[in-house]
Structure 1
Amino acid sequence: MAAMAAVLRGPGRRFRWRTQALAGGVRGAARGVAAGQQDYDLLVIGGGSGGLACAKEAAQLGRKVAVVDYVEPSPQGTKWGLGGTCVNVGCIPKKLMHQAALLGGMIQDAHHYGWEVAQPIRHDWRKMAEAVQNHVKSLNWGHRVQLQDRKVKYFNIKASFINEHTVCGIAKSGKETLLSADHIVIATGGRPRYPTHIEGALEYGITSDDIFWLKESPGKTLVVGASYVALECAGFLTGIGLDTTVMMRSIPLRGFDQQMSSLVMEHMESHGTQFLKGCIPTCIKRLPDGQLQVTWEDRTSGKKDTGIFDTVLWAIGRIPETRNLNLKEVGVNINPENQKIIVDAQDVTSVPHIYAIGDVAEGRPELTPTAIMAGKLLAQRLFGQSSDLMDYNNVPTTVFTPLEYGCVGLSEEEAVARHGQEHIEVYHAYYKPLEFTVAERDASQCYIKMVCLKKPPQLVLGLHFLGPNAGEVTQGFALGIKCGASYAQVMRTVGIHPTCSEEVVKLRISKRSGLDPTVTGC
Structure 2
Amino acid sequence: MAAALCRGKHRLKAFCHSAVRLSSRNITGQFDYDLVVIGGGSGGLACSKEAAQLGQSVAVLDYVEPSVRGTKWGLGGTCVNVGCIPKKLMHQAALLGTALRTDSGKYGWRISGSVSHDWVSMAGAVQNYVRSLNWGHRVQLQDKNVKYLNMKGSLLDPHTIRGLNARGKEATVTARNIVIATGGRPKYPTHVPGAREHGITSDDLFWLKESPGKTLVVGASYVALECAGFLTGIGLDTTVMVRSIALRGFDQQMSRLVTDHMEAYGTHFCWSCVPKKVEKLPSGLLQVTWTDTERQQEHQDTFSSVLWAVGRAPESEALNLKHVGVELNTDTGKIIIGDDEQTSVPSIYAIGDIAEGRPELTPTAIKAGKLLARRLAGHSNQLMNYDNVPTTVFTPLEYGCVGLSEEEAERRYGSDDIEVFHAFYKPLEFTIAERDASQCYIKVVCERAEPQRVLGLHFTGPSAGEVTQGFALGFQCGFTYSQLCDTVGIHPTCAEEFTKLHITKRSGLDATVTGC
Q: 1:366-414 deviations in whole A, cap 9, x for unaligned?
A: 0000000000000000103310000001100000000000000000000
2:233 matches 1:226: no
Partner of 1:428: 422
Partner of 1:351: 345
Change (3 A) 1:272 1:167: same
How far 1:3 sits from its partner (Å)?
A: 4.4
Partner of 2:127: 133
| CA distance in structure 1 between the partners assigned to 2:270 and 2:479 by the alignment | 41
Partner of 1:97: 90
| CA distance in structure 1 between the partners assigned to 2:72 and 2:454 by the alignment | 43
2:125 matches 1:142: no
> What SS does the corresponding residue of 1:284 show, helix, strand or coil?
strand
2:160 matches 1:170: no
Q: 1:179-214 deviations in whole A, cap 9, x for unaligned?
A: 110000000000001112211011100000000000
Note the residue ranges of structure 2 that are not aligned, 5 or more in a row: 1-11
Given candidates 252, 263, 270, the residue that maps to 1:276 is: 270
Q: 1:329-386 deviations in whole A, cap 9, x for unaligned?
A: 1000000000000000000000001000000000000000000000000000010331
Change (3 A) 1:482 1:355: same
> What SS does the corresponding residue of 1:113 show, helix, strand or coil?
coil
How far 1:34 sits from its partner (Å)?
A: 5.5
Partner of 1:403: 397
Percent identity reads 68
| CA distance in structure 2 between the partners assigned to 1:399 and 1:314 by the alignment | 18
Q: 1:72-92 deviations in whole A, cap 9, x for unaligned?
A: 000000000000000000000
- Which amino acid is the alignment partner of residue 174 of structure 1? G
How far 1:437 sits from its partner (Å)?
A: 0.3
Partner of 1:26: none
- Which amino acid is the alignment partner of residue 38 of structure 1? F
How far 1:300 sits from its partner (Å)?
A: 2.1
Where in structure 2 are the equivalents of 1:412-451 lying within 5 Å? Answer: 412-451=406-445
- Which amino acid is the alignment partner of residue 257 of structure 1? D
Given candidates 436, 448, 452, the residue that maps to 1:458 is: 452
2:60 matches 1:73: no
Change (3 A) 1:200 1:317: same
Change (3 A) 1:32 1:107: same
How far 1:298 sits from its partner (Å)?
A: 1.2
2:54 matches 1:43: no
Given candidates 71, 80, 104, the residue that maps to 1:87 is: 80
| CA distance in structure 1 between the partners assigned to 2:333 and 2:272 by the alignment | 28
Where in structure 2 are the equivalents of 1:297-312 lying within 5 Å? Answer: 297-312=291-306
Partner of 1:471: 465
- Which amino acid is the alignment partner of residue 51 of structure 2? A
Note the residue ranges of structure 1 that are not aligned, 5 or more in a row: 10-28
- Which amino acid is the alignment partner of residue 93 of structure 2? A
Given candidates 495, 514, 519, the residue that maps to 2:513 is: 519
CA RMSD of aligned residues (A): 1.3
How far 1:5 sits from its partner (Å)?
A: 6.1
2:240 matches 1:256: no
Partner of 1:62: 55
Partner of 1:12: none
Instruction: Calculate the TM-score normalised by the size of structure 1.
Output: 0.95
Question: Structure 1 residue runs of 4+, over 3 Å off?
Answer: 1-9, 29-36
Partner of 1:151: 145
2:327 matches 1:313: no
| CA distance in structure 1 between the partners assigned to 2:400 and 2:112 by the alignment | 34
Whether the 8 Å contact between 1:30 and 1:163 is mirrored in structure 2 is no
> What SS does the corresponding residue of 2:411 show, helix, strand or coil?
helix
Given candidates 266, 270, 273, the residue that maps to 2:260 is: 266
Partner of 2:4: none
Whether the 8 Å contact between 1:292 and 1:311 is mirrored in structure 2 is yes
How far 1:301 sits from its partner (Å)?
A: 2.6
2:185 matches 1:196: no
Where in structure 2 are the equivalents of 1:15-54 lying within 5 Å? Answer: 37-54=30-47
